[in-house]
Amino acid sequence: MPGNTLHSYGKIARSLHWLTALIILANIALGLVAVRLPMDALDAKVGLFSVHKTLGIAAFTVALIRIAWALIQPRPVPVHPERRIETFLAESVHWVLYAALVLVPLSGWIEHAATEGFAPILWPLGQGLPLVPKSPQLAETMASVHGIFAWLLIGAIAMHVAGALKHAVIDRDGVLARMLRGSPAGDAPARRHRAPALAAVAVFALSLIHI
């Protein structure tokens, strides 16, 4: 089925989830390597950064499509709503992931647009952004924000993947199969809480406290 139900993820949501996972994991690796390459490997550093930025904008585009799709689709209910702390944690991490999918590439893009830049985005649509002035100070701040948000994303993915593995290996329930094969799981009535989204906002706000 292309669409979600209250108990299953449809083909489109699953394809977008795994496409996002692939691009994001590849781009995290590229970012970590590119930052750490020494300046005497300048050609490789510039090349990796250009690919990182271009793939990052692809990730941003896929993220916007994914979020638009999630907004018009039913969200499958938690499989174990009676485990309240676990459900709260899982949902808070989902909110952090959704927010990071937008904020990580956007902060990197603003940093790029604020400098003259040595590693161009590999596309014909220009290197600047409307409303973003050339400003070394802004670029420096956005570099810090991008780094902090990227590490928040890495931490959230680590928790998310650990959770998915726990469901598959220890609980042996249908949570991973729900995202892999689209099989239905969970029979609780749909009740949504605002606390996980608020927790995600708090995590982002706290992460910027020293900026």
Q: How many CB atoms within 10 Å of residue 191?
A: 8
Residues in contact with ligand HEM, counted by CB under 6 A, come to a total of: 42
Nearest-approach distance from CB 115 to ligand HEM, in angstroms:
8
CB distance 205 to 33 below 8 Å: no
Work out whether 204 is an interface residue with ligand HEM (CB under 6 A).
Answer: no
Backbone angle region of 131, left / alpha / beta, with phi > 0 → left and psi within -120 to 50 → alpha: left
Among 16, 150, 152, 203, binds ligand HEM (CB under 6 A): 150
Rounded-to-integer distance, Cα 104 and Cα 108, Å? 6
Nearest-approach distance from CB 205 to ligand HEM, in angstroms:
20
Nearest-approach distance from CB 113 to ligand HEM, in angstroms:
8
The interface with ligand HEM within residues 32-91 (CB under 6 A) comprises: 32, 35, 52-53, 56-57, 59, 70, 75-76
Among 121, 145, 152, 200, binds ligand HEM (CB under 6 A): 121
Nearest-approach distance from CB 101 to ligand HEM, in angstroms:
6
**3-state SS, one letter per residue, for 22-88:** HHHHHHHHHHHHHHHCCHHHHHHHHHHHHHHHHHHHHHHHHHHHHHHHHHCCCCCCCCCCCCHHHHH
Residues 6+ apart with CB under 8 A from 23: 55, 58, 59, 62
Work out whether 28 is an interface residue with ligand HEM (CB under 6 A).
Answer: yes
Residues lying near ligand HEM in the complex (CB under 6 A): 17, 20-21, 24-25, 27-28, 31-32, 35, 52-53, 56-57, 59, 70, 75-76, 94, 97-98, 101, 104-105, 108-109, 111-112, 121, 143, 146-147, 150, 153, 157, 160-161, 164, 175-176, 178-179
